[in-house]
Amino acid sequence: MRRSLLFLFFLLISFYCFAQQNLPVRIHGGIPNRNSTATYQIQVGAFSINANADRAFLQLQRNALNPVREKYQGLTRVMIRGIPANQVVNFLAIIKEAGFNEVTIRPDPRTGGVR
């Protein structure tokens, strides 16, 4: 009985750790509730050097994402907009595969956060 419980414990721990590996290391703003009707934007960076913003933009495009650039206080922010709450985790996995380990998630201001 003890061995079975120990086996199940380690099985659940390994499954949990594997599931978490597909997401960026740092997520600012938190992952929204999947049942929310709001739309979100995921920012992968804010760059003072345009060449770095261009590189990030192209990296996201190569991974079949539709990024946008936005000027903000002397920086160029690179982000993906209009993401439904129930798709945020899927986008995070793709962004992680694209090589980004830190993102910021916020409600999409263009829609007021609502679809």
**Pair 95, 67: CB distance under 8 Å:** no
Neighbours of 103 (CB within 10 A): 23
**DSSP string covering 15-64, please?**
HHHHHHHTS-SEEES-PPPTT--BEEEEEEEEESSHHHHHHHHHHHHHTT
41 and 82 in contact (C-beta within 8 Å)? yes
Whole-number pLDDT of residue 23: 74
CATH class, 2-107 region: alpha beta
Domain boundaries, the chain: 2-107
For residue 26, what pLDDT is reported? 85
Question: What is the structure's pLDDT at 85?
Answer: 92
> What per-residue confidence (pLDDT) applies to 68?
94
State the pLDDT at residue 1. Answer: 66
**pLDDT on residue 110:** 79
Residue (of 93, 72, 88, 82) closest to 21 by Cα position: 93
What is the predicted pLDDT for the residue at 27? 87
pLDDT for the residue numbered 6: 55
List of the chain residues with pLDDT < 70: 1-21, 112-115
65 residue type, one letter: L
